Amino acid sequence: MTSRTHKNERRAGQLSKDRIVDSAIAILDAEGEGALTFRVLAARLATGAGAIYWHVADKQDLLAAATDHVIGEAFAVVAGRSDPRATIRAIASAVFDAIDRRPWVGAQLSRNPLQDAGLRIFERVGEQIEAFGVPEPAQFNAATAILSLILGLAGQYASALDHVSTGIGRTAFLESVAARWAVLDPDLYPFVRRIAAQLSGHDDRAQFLAGIDLILAGIAAGGKGGAFERG
């Protein structure tokens, strides 16, 4: 019965930051952000709650590591296009897909934008901004704008998905929001009222990328002098 049970069996029981983060991700994926507790995490790892603190500074550190892991994985499969514009769209797409699969990633990104995962996105975007031909002094602003848009959309999308997960389906949720919007005071909220009709049918991913395109168009337009010729 215990044949084949050598010391690796023990090794598998060893704690490590990686194992902790993997377990945390499994819990977050399966039951959402509210379910991640040091107690249930410890139970799943068959250890004491305090043991986790040997490998992880605190809960924020754990969530940051989990988010960084997911974003790192998402970026690993983003092939670099020759066109910087297409590459930036691919980066944004990868982030969108990661959030679509795991709403907690979006929540974490928008809550703590300056941590590892955010820096990873910033770097990727910035490299393409440079490849796009944006002059040095403008690169910081341009990359920050795109990063901010991604994070802002991440927060909105994650928050919407959050509501969806707590009960009704996506279209039912959108319809309930649309119904609430359609009933606002027309003097105070003329725009939102009018837009409500488009809510149910709209495509989140397309809207996400449309925003990116607007900034890219603005960057391109800013270089009227020819400074942004593809090169």
Partner DNA sequence: ACCTGAACACCGTTCAAGT
DSSP secondary structure letter of residue 5: -
CA 126 to chain centre: 17
- The minimum distance between CB 227 and its own copies, in angstroms, equals 14
- The minimum distance between CB 33 and its own copies, in angstroms, equals 12
- 59-76 and 84-101 helices, crossing angle to 10°: 130
- Closest C-alpha among 211, 173, 200 to residue 93: 211
- 170-181 and 190-199 helices, crossing angle to 10°: 160
- The minimum distance between CB 183 and its own copies, in angstroms, equals 13
Taking the C-alpha atoms of residue 39 and residue 14, their distance in angstroms, rounded to an integer, is 18
DSSP secondary structure letter of residue 230: -
Within residues 47-106, the interface with DNA by CB under 7 A covers: 47-51, 53-55, 58-60
- The minimum distance between CB 100 and DNA, in angstroms, equals 25
Under rule CB under 8 A, residue 229 binds its own copies = no
Under rule CB under 7 A, residue 36 binds DNA = yes
Among 71, 126, 132, 174, binds its own copies (CB under 8 A): 126
At 192, list the tokens.
Answer: 């939102």
The site partner of 148 among DNA, its own copies, none (C-beta below 5 to 8 Å per kind) is its own copies
Q: Specify the amino acid at residue 115.
A: Q
Under rule CB under 7 A, residue 37 binds DNA = yes
Under rule CB under 8 A, residue 202 binds its own copies = yes
Residue with smaller CB distance to DNA, 58 or 97: 58
Among 15, 145, 182, 184, binds DNA (CB under 7 A): 15
- The minimum distance between CB 149 and its own copies, in angstroms, equals 5
Under rule CB under 8 A, residue 186 binds its own copies = no
Collapsing DSSP states into helix, strand and coil, what is residue 18?
helix
Radius of gyration of the chain (CA): 22
- Whose tokens are 């495509």? That residue is 203
Within residues 152-171, the interface with its own copies by CB under 8 A covers: 152-156, 159-160
Q: Express the helix, strand and coil content of the chain in percent, nearest 5 each.
A: 75, 0, 25
Within residues 70-109, the interface with its own copies by CB under 8 A covers: 107
CA atoms within 13 Å, Cβ hemisphere of 73: 14
Give residues in contact with DNA (CB under 7 A): 14-15, 36-40, 46-51, 53-55, 58-60
Give residues in contact with its own copies (CB under 8 A): 107, 110-114, 119, 122-123, 126-127, 129-130, 139-145, 147-156, 159-160, 177, 181, 188-192, 195, 198, 202, 207, 210-211, 213-222
